[in-house]
């Protein structure tokens, strides 16, 4: 799997957009970008994934740069319940690849 780099921590004011960056400069053409989050002591939760087009679902938006070397997860209106560790992972479709989690970004939403 390509290596990803994320900031260790970020703060965001409640109600504002949270923009979480991820660098994956060695990403291969067949690798997707996946985002998960882990709210304190709970099981991780899948958020969104994409290949090269921007993606949006009910939880978040994913913006992938044209060269695919970085991406940004956007939580449009952060709430206190969005406080969590956010993990960016790159992984190819098909075949077996174990999913490894790095240290992620600790997002603190502030009232």
Partner 1 sequence: NAGVMQNPRHLVRRRGQEARLRCSPMKGHSHVYWYRQLPEEGLKFMVYLQKENIIDESGMPKERFSAEFPKEGPSILRIQQVVRGDSAAYFCASSWATGSGANVLTFGAGSRLTVL
Which residues form the interface with partner 1 (CB under 8 A)?
32, 34, 36, 38, 41-46, 49, 91, 93-94, 96-104
In the complex, least distance from residue 33 CB atom to partner 1, rounded to whole angstroms: 11
CB closer to partner 1, 41 vs 53: 41
CB closer to partner 1, 36 vs 82: 36
Nearest CA to 74 out of 53, 48, 92 is that of 48
**Residue 80, helix vs strand vs coil:** helix
Torsion sign (Cα): 79, 90, 45, 106? negative
Q: Please, where are the H alpha helices in 1-111?
A: none
Q: Cα(7)–Cα(61) distance, rounded to whole angstroms?
A: 19
CB closer to partner 1, 43 vs 111: 43
In the complex, least distance from residue 16 CB atom to partner 1, rounded to whole angstroms: 27
């Amino acid at each position: 799997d390509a290596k990803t780099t994320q900031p260790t921590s970020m703060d965001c004011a409640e109600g504002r957009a949270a923009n979480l960056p991820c660098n994956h400069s060695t990403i291969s053409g067949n690798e997707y970008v996946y985002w998960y989050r882990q709210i304190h002591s709970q099981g991780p939760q899948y958020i969104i994934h994409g290949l090269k087009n921007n993606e949006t679902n009910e939880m978040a938006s994913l913006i992938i740069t044209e060269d695919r070397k970085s991406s940004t997860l956007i939580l449009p209106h952060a709430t206190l319940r969005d406080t969590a560790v956010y993990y960016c992972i790159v992984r190819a479709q098909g075949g077996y690849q174990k999913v490894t989690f790095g240290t992620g970004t600790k997002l603190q939403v502030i009232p």
